[in-house]
């Protein structure tokens, strides 16, 4: 006689084996909701992060550009012909003043001189002085803020205020944007900026008389140093007097040959104008400024003897005499 063994149904604990666990539909729904909230936050902050990265990249490019251009201007470099691949245009907004500080009584005392890689001119008058080499570019960027132009035949002197602005495609950045890239669409989309240059001497003009600055003095008072003679008459040491006077001459020499160089960068340049990027870089140029007259390129109607002039800083060392 056979005995039949009866089996009971397995319990839940017996059915649930290790590795066989799974999420329920409710748990999956909650997980998807959490992931959805996280994705919304990530997507919301992503444009901000990309914007910060772009701004940091642009500021890094501007810092590199400022180093190259400041070194070129302060040292009067004339062989940087590669700049013709990046400097698109230079514009000099000139205002001409008479000796009394008023606008000069000449035709059009406010003038716009423009220069591109193909031509140049004053307003609508073409003058054929394009940016074909590096020395023209540096010579124009180094134009002093104020220039004195004497005219003995008219027994007068004009003072020209220069506001030099250049539009430049970045020399650093993506290699696909750089020369020899000839596609105009790619070049137009490349990062570019606007540069305003100012070169101003620390001391210039007539001295102050009775605490009144004469009209000819547009800059800092030349006799700012206190290294002149002692006001205390009890000081009788000759060596101290000589040393003090030597310091005075040294300071006057440095002051007359010291220039404050200011670069204002604004970026990016687009078809709709300028972006929000803005940075000021300042440097010091020591030495004289060489005015190189370019024969054959003359401005019309003011007077005909005024040609184009390029300017180059001539670095020098100054030592205090013993």
Enter the pTM of the model: 0.73
Contacts (Cβ under 8 Å, ≥6 apart) of 158 = 96, 97, 98, 104, 148, 149, 150, 151
**pLDDT > 70 fraction of the chain, expressed in percent and rounded:** 69
- What gap in Å lies between CA 52 and CA 80, rounded to an integer? 33
For residue 127, is it within any domain?
Answer: yes
Q: How many Cβ atoms from other residues are within 10 Å of residue 216's Cβ?
A: 14
For residue 6, is it within any domain?
Answer: no
Residue 164 pLDDT > 50? yes
> Comparing C-alpha atoms, which of 73, 111, 28 is closest to residue 286?
73
Which domain, by its residues, includes 85? 54-314
pLDDT at 69: 96
For residue 19, is it within any domain?
Answer: no
Write out the DSSP string of 62-94. Answer: HHHHHHHHHHHHHTT----GGGGGTEEEEEEEE
For residue 20, is it within any domain?
Answer: no
Q: Are 131 and 247 in contact (CB under 8 A)?
A: no
- What gap in Å lies between CA 169 and CA 153, rounded to an integer? 44
For residue 287, is it within any domain?
Answer: yes
- Counting the structural domains of the chain, the total is 1
Could you check whether the bond before residue 268 is cis, i.e. omega within 30 degrees of 0? yes
For residue 234, is it within any domain?
Answer: yes
Q: Are 125 and 103 in contact (CB under 8 A)?
A: no
Which runs of E-coded beta strand occur in the chain?
A: 87-97, 110-116, 120-122, 125-126, 146-151, 156-169, 192-201, 258-270, 273-286, 288-298, 307-314
Collapsing DSSP states into helix, strand and coil, what is residue 153?
Answer: helix
Q: Who has greater pLDDT, 305 or 43?
A: 43
- What gap in Å lies between CA 137 and CA 298, rounded to an integer? 18
- What gap in Å lies between CA 91 and CA 199, rounded to an integer? 16
Task: Give the range with max mean pLDDT: 4-18, 57-71, 178-192.
Answer: 57-71
Per-residue pLDDT of 227-252, as tens digits, reads: 555 555 555 666 666 666 776 666 66
- What gap in Å lies between CA 288 and CA 189, rounded to an integer? 39
For residue 265, is it within any domain?
Answer: yes
Per-residue pLDDT of 301-322, as tens digits, reads: 454 445 578 999 988 766 555 5
Q: Are 162 and 144 in contact (CB under 8 A)?
A: yes
Q: How many Cβ atoms from other residues are within 10 Å of residue 322's Cβ?
A: 6
For residue 171, is it within any domain?
Answer: yes
**pLDDT > 90 fraction of the chain, expressed in percent and rounded:** 30
């Amino acid at each position: 006689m056979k005995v039949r063994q009866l089996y009971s149904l397995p319990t839940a604990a017996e059915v649930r084996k290790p590795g066989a666990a799974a999420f329920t539909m409710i748990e999956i729904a909650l997980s998807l909701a959490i992931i959805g909230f996280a994705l919304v936050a990530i997507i919301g902050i992503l444009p901000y992060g990309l914007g910060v990265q772009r701004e940091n990249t642009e500021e890094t490019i501007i810092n590199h550009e400022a180093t190259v251009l400041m070194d070129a201007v302060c040292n009067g470099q004339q062989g940087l012909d590669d700049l013709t691949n990046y400097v698109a245009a230079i514009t000099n907004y000139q205002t001409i003043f008479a000796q009394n500080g008023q606008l000069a009584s000449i035709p059009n005392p406010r003038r716009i001189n423009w220069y591109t890689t193909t031509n140049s001119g004053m307003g609508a008058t073409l003058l054929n002085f394009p940016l074909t080499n590096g020395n023209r570019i540096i010579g124009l960027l180094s134009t002093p803020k104020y220039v004195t132009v004497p005219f003995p035949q008219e027994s007068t002197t004009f003072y020209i205020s220069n506001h030099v602005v250049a539009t430049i495609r970045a020399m650093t950045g993506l290699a696909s944007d750089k020369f020899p890239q000839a596609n105009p669409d790619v070049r137009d989309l490349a990062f570019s900026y606007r540069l305003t240059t100012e070169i101003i001497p620390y001391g210039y003009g007539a001295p102050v008389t009775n605490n009144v600055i004469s009209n000819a003095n547009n800059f800092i008072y030349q006799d700012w140093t206190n290294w002149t003679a002692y006001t205390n008459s009890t000081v009788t040491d000759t060596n101290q007097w000589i040393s003090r006077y030597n310091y005075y001459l040294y300071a006057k020499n440095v002051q007359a040959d010291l220039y404050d160089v200011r670069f204002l960068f604004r970026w990016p340049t687009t078809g709709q104008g300028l972006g929000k990027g803005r940075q000021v870089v300042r440097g010091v140029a020591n030495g004289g400024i060489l005015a190189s007259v370019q024969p054959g390129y003359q401005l019309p109607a003011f007077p005909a003897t005024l040609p184009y002039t390029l300017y180059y800083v001539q670095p020098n060392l100054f030592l205090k005499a013993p």
